[in-house]
Amino acid sequence: MTIRKLIAGNWKMNGSLGMLHELDGIAKATFNHPELDVVICPSFTLIAPAIVRQPDMTFGAQDCHYDESGSHTGCVSAPMLREVGASYVIVGHSERRIEQNETNEEIRAKTTTAIANGLVTIVCIGESRAAHASGQALPIIGAQLDGCIPPDATSDNLVVAYEPIWAIGTGNTPPPESIAEMHASIRDRLCLLLGSEGKKVRILYGGSVTGKNAEELMAIPDVNGTLVGGASLTAEQFVPIIEAGG
């Protein structure tokens, strides 16, 4: 089965209006690769200006609330993201799990609301360095999937990103055999949770992806694209990753 690859950029709390010109080169590479999906997830404040700059590109957000509206000062809802033109949303990033104490239960609620509002939802999972070192990665990933994935999600509205926390922003990636083992286990779990839809859900690898390692990473079985942090901020670094996916 051929699964369409997704290359997603997570700008985190970086970027500015003055940086949006980087989108021009990224858009050019994206349009040269119609066989791929490419999405950039900038900060909330940059989504609308990014769409104005590159109206034919796809944009997403880095979080949403699990309620559609209400008394949640400082939060942004899935309908608000849709209204402004976002098509994707990342939920459950390890930085939010750690800094905002997000639980699997909250992430599942966010995923349900995001999907109900027409957002393709990228659910992040991944183990800590300590869990990796003590051989607990597989059970932790399994529990995260069980806790975060709504039973009616489909391959059209759900993407899973496997991001070992110890690989994010460190320049270290796990060996290919280890990524293959993790992705195979995620695929098995998705099939248990979602039946035949689980076979088609895209599973991204994230953590220190660069133009140098992207091709090798995306050649690993069941790696259906990448979630890229630091190297998504400039066209110079992100375009080679797009090229590697094509």
Task: Extract the annotated binding site for substrate.
Answer: 10-12, 169, 208, 229-230
Residue 62, helix vs strand vs coil: coil
Q: Which is nearer to ligand PEP, 124 or 158 (CB)?
A: 124
Q: Which stretch binds ligand PEP (CB under 6 A): 27-35, 36-44, 212-220, 228-236?
A: 228-236
Strand residue runs (E) in the chain: 6-10, 37-41, 58-61, 88-91, 120-125, 158-162, 202-206, 225-228
The region of 43-51, 57-65, 110-118, 200-208 touching ligand PEP under the rule CB under 6 A is: 200-208
Is residue 212 close enough to count as binding ligand PEP by CB under 6 A? no
Distance separating alpha carbons of residues 188 and 156, to the nearest angstrom? 18
What long-range pairs does 188-192 form, CB within 8 A, spacing at least 24?
A: 189/141, 189/142, 189/145, 189/146, 190/145, 190/149, 190/160
Structure tokens at 21: 């010109």
Task: Show the tokens assigned to 223.
Answer: 């790696």
163 binds ligand PEP (CB under 6 A): yes
Among all residues, whose Cβ is closest to ligand PEP?
Answer: 229
Residue of 128, 131, 141 whose CA lies nearest to 182? 141
Query: Is residue 206 at the binding interface for ligand PEP, with CB under 6 A as the rule?
Result: yes
Catalytic residue among 93, 95, 102, 127: 93
Binding of ligand PEP by 100 (CB under 6 A): no
93 is catalytic: yes
Q: Tell whether residue 203 is a contact of ligand PEP (CB under 6 A).
A: no
Residue from 150, 207, 225, 245 touching ligand PEP (CB under 6 A): that is 207
CB of 65 to ligand PEP, least distance (A): 20
Q: Does 30 bind ligand PEP (CB under 6 A)?
A: no
Tokens 């089965």, located at residue: 1
Q: Is residue 209 a contact point for ligand PEP (CB under 6 A)?
A: yes
Answer yes or no: 163 catalytic: yes
User: Which residue among 131, 229, 233, 239 contacts ligand PEP (CB under 6 A)?
Assistant: 229
The distance between the two most distant Cα atoms of the chain, rounded to a whole number of Å, is: 48
- Count other C-beta atoms under 10 Å from residue 91's C-beta: 27
- Using CB under 6 A, list all residues that contact ligand PEP: 10, 163, 168-169, 206-209, 227-231
Q: Which residues form the catalytic set?
A: 93, 163
